[in-house]
Structure 1
Amino acid sequence: MATHIVLNQKGGVGKSTITMNLAAVKNDALASPTDDVPPVLAVSIDPQGSAVWWADRAEDLPFMVADAATEGEISRAVNIPGVRHVYVDTPGWIGDHPGSSENGLGGLLLSEALDVSDLVIIPIPPEPLAFQPTVRTIREVVEPRGLPFILVINNWDPRDGDVDLTQTQGFIREMGWGTNLANTVIRRYKVHTRAAAQGVVVTEYDANRASLQARQDFHKLTDEISERV
């Protein structure tokens, strides 16, 4: 079983969207009619509960979603028989002492999630305000634990041109994380921003051109992650 933690100190970088859509694509690839339970689980340790709210609005998600933000039972959630992949959605703020009990239950939950992590997925939007929170996330949380990680440029609007994208890619390489940078860039589509309110995931989008392109990004990213775990 592989456990993936979607993490960045900066809020609003798309952690819940990435968590839910990666779970949907991976479940679509692995699920079989003979499965007793879906092979993929999304776990929320975010007190705001964006992924849980999303799931509550859905009629029938193809994968499981668990709320561990108040239970503190990450280990139990990721050891459900039949589950083969877990994606963990984390809070937007990781505190002054990330992953420690000094941050209360949130710190303990994050620490517990990191203890079982096989890969940390770090979304970063192509904007300078996201740079320093991303550095802190990696320097203070990920690297001290020796965890493998992948940086994913998220929410890039091609209509804005390549300047911000190129600047973000250059910053990541200057920091020495070029080999951790995903080749896949998650492009910005309105269908992504509306999905949570509509209770749908990327595998359930309507079959139009924009939706198919949006889905393609997550299929490519899922393939990249599979090569790293």
Structure 2
Amino acid sequence: MAGALDELAHAMDDLGADGVTVETNAHGVYLGDTRYEPLYAELDRRRTPVFVHPTSPPHAEDLALGRPRPMLEFVFDSARTVSDLLFAGVLTRYPDIPWIITHGGGALPLLAQRMELFRAMLPSGATESASVPERLGRLWYDLAGTPFPHQAPALTAAFGSERVLYGSEYCWTPAFGVDAQIASLAGAAQPAGDTWHALTTRNAQRLFPRLSPAASG
């Protein structure tokens, strides 16, 4: 933890980073674990954006059935760790951390209502006035991966479009794959009275004010 706090200060204060990245779990320790509390307190104080990228879950070699782990396991691990943040109370205790969840939130748009059904059975759930979909709607989501034709509409139907960002997945996705994804955004059904390009640009400028035209002079 001391090392994580040192790296956070170095990244933000010395390097001028816009945010930090964490993975969905570290050797099976998910993001709701209390060992991360000192880090979350500092991230909350700084209002530092945190980008969450999935990785393989514990025992992935058994779960993946010999198939590529990013195909299924990554999208479920994103949902798993966000549910841990939610039900462990991290999102409530540290409301000023802007969390960015990649791949359209993974499986979250399809599971949010199911999580709400189970909320009252969980110790932290009964004390929350806001519903699971409402609280998940306060997170940010990017469109990395294959958001069209189905995932982006499911994401915005579940959580709205005000916190949707573009994500390229470069350099894990090679340049030709990024080009294809950009083309898919341009060729997809566009939001009413808007475009995916304009919408995600506006949202990114709200999250990162230095990117706005006013900030650049």
TM-score normalised to structure 2 length = 0.41
User: Greater Rg, structure 1 or structure 2?
Assistant: 2
TM-score normalised to structure 1 length = 0.39
More strand as a share of residues: 1
Relative contact order (alpha carbons < 8 A, sep ≥ 6): 1 or 2 greater?
1
